[in-house]
Structure 1
């Protein structure tokens, strides 16, 4: 299995080489990994311990190698490599003002690979096997699930080399965060191809409802994953925000942002829908229009 995606800016098909690719294959494509290792890796203490290690001053020694191996563009970062005090300090780095353009319509909340489904029930045609995906299970709230059940679903996957702060995709007023306890399975395609429902309905996750003046409610749900030390919110609930304002950030690890929109409130961009139909993610950056 290769992780391939479309780079929206160039239109090119690219292959992702995630850090620890061999270990991910062992975990999710090997019977030994599935039976013996996943029960250990998915537990909170494993990610918490690793997160604490990445907060220690000595972890700065990992930064230069990480940047070089994953070809991270540090020209976009607010600070230089030498200015970070730990690996997590670097991992949750801010970008310079102006390096991302906030476009019209619904924008991507972060940098990453995007899948989009006009109707939530279409996700089952993509890669769900076995257990069916239910919004009620994902949200742990039957009434809220009914509100979005005929709407659209967008999944933005952040790889470890991506910018790991996330932003509001539209103008509005955000609610307080609702937290849902869970595990820490990987959000890599190696894990999702056979475990989509398991990952999204069992992983630690949280959400807020963004009330917009013209396009109904948008549910924004950061989802934790293996090696994610913490999900940190940086916004103030129940105050007006502008599209592109920071909502929060992830500490070390790959992560995901799930967006739910109400029926007929947005039209997802055709290129993203086409790529998803062809079973390809689309690489987008924070501020790029993803629907109008």
Structure 2
């Protein structure tokens, strides 16, 4: 295929994707989101191989769900599929000491520098780090540093890993809504990440640098598992109080070690202080895999 014919085909695919995301936004944000997400959680936990096979066949009509890398090919539930392990060696991590690796498979969203406590979810849609991190966390350490939004689609590998050697020191879980986090929603709903349920995972790297990973829940994302706390966080059901829920910890992690998983798909926002630069090829719209170089210590 030559460049002359490839360009119209690419434009056609982008147009189709845009139309699908518009429809996705309209459908998922015109329903009772939290109720739908809780229902999805119950359905995903139904342990029936026959039901699971049927559900996955239907799902593959709407999304390119590739299970060829999965360690196991038979699943007892939808959740079992969405939180699947991969074959050994499927996600090798860049072990160079100056590399901060991607914690997950993702599509790169907004990237930039934190300026005056402000970052962007999409062009023209700013939000504050103070609001995202919640009233109990100090986000000022990331002023002048970088942020990267990593979007996990429903078809992707849903487990996330330590991006570098370091220790998780604190987790703050903030209850909230479950807006869709696709690109259409990010261009229409202001401060979306600050409205949704999320966890602020504060980590200190072996070199002393503070970093933060902020997994954000979304519609139909029924839970987030954090292994080192042996906690399953989902739609406030496991937590008695609303607002900020504090979970101090001291959990050493080696680069590439599994940290947890999303049930379905969602977003992780990465924050690093000054002294980091984007790795080669990291730009809006890029598809990346867990373990690939995301940032480099400059």
TM bucket (normalised to shorter chain) is: 0.7 to 0.9
Corresponding residue to 2:277 among 257, 267, 271: 267
> What TM-score, normalized by structure 1, do the two folds share?
0.79
Shift of 1:100: 1.1
Cα offset, 1:234, TM superposition: 1.3
In 2: Cα distance, 1:94 partner to 1:227 partner: 20
Distance 1:207 1:289, change over 3 A: same
Which secondary structure does the structure 2 equivalent of 1:53 belong to? helix
Q: Secondary structure at the match of 2:267?
A: strand
Deviation at 1:117, TM superposition (A): 2.8
2:85 matched to 1:91?
Answer: no
1:114-133 counterparts in 2 under 5 A? 114-115=108-109, 117-121=111-115, 123-124=119-120, 126-129=122-125, 132-133=126-127
Counterpart position of 1:287: 291
Identify unmatched segments of 5+ residues in structure 2. Answer: 1-9, 230-248
Q: Secondary structure at the residue paired with 2:191?
A: helix
For residues 142 and 241 of structure 1, what CA distance do their matches in structure 2 show?
Answer: 24
| Length-normalised TM-score, structure 2 | 0.78
Bigger mean CA deviation after superposition, 138-147 or 219-228:
138-147
Residue 220 of structure 1 is matched in structure 2 by: 213
Q: 3-state SS of the aligned residue for 1:235?
A: helix
CA distance in 1, matches of 2:180, 2:121: 21
The equivalent residue for 1:185 is 179
RMSD between aligned alpha carbons?
Answer: 2.6
Provide the C-alpha distance between the structure 2 equivalents of 1:180 and 1:139, rounded to a whole number of angstroms.
9
**Residues 153, 266 of structure 2: 8 Å contact kept:** yes
Match of 2:194 in 1: 201
Gaps of 5+ in 1: 1-11
Report the Cα offset of residue 241 of structure 1. Answer: 1.1
Q: CA deviation at 1:175?
A: 2.1
Aligned pairs for 1:34-53 (under 5 A) are: 37=30, 40-41=32-33, 44-53=34-43
- 1:182-241 Cα deviation digits (max 9, x unpaired): 10000100100122x431100000021111121501101110000011111113542321
Q: Is the 8 A contact 1:172 1:211 kept in 2?
A: yes
Higher relative helix content? 1
Matches of 1:223 and 1:115, distance apart in 2:
14
Asked whether the equivalents of residues 25 and 182 of structure 2 are also in contact (C-alpha less than 8 Å), the reply is no
Secondary structure of the corresponding residue to residue 194 of structure 2: helix
Please name the residue that 2:225 is paired with.
Answer: 232
Partners of 1:207 and 1:152 lie apart in 2 by 16
The equivalent residue for 1:251 is 263
Counterpart in the other structure of 2:24: 24
**Deviations, residues 227-265 of structure 1 (Å, cap 9, x unaligned):** 01111111354232111111111113x30011110122x
Alignment partners' CA distance in 2, 1:93 and 1:20: 26
Counterpart-to-counterpart distance in 2, 1:227 and 1:25: 13
Q: Is the 8 A contact 2:279 2:295 kept in 1?
A: yes
1:135-193 residue CA offsets vs partner (Å, 9 max, x unmatched) = 11111137512111221101100011111111111110112421001100001001001
How far apart in 1 are the matches of 2:292 and 2:196? 27
SS at match of 2:252: coil
Query: 1:74 aligned to 2:67?
Result: yes
How many residues get paired? 258
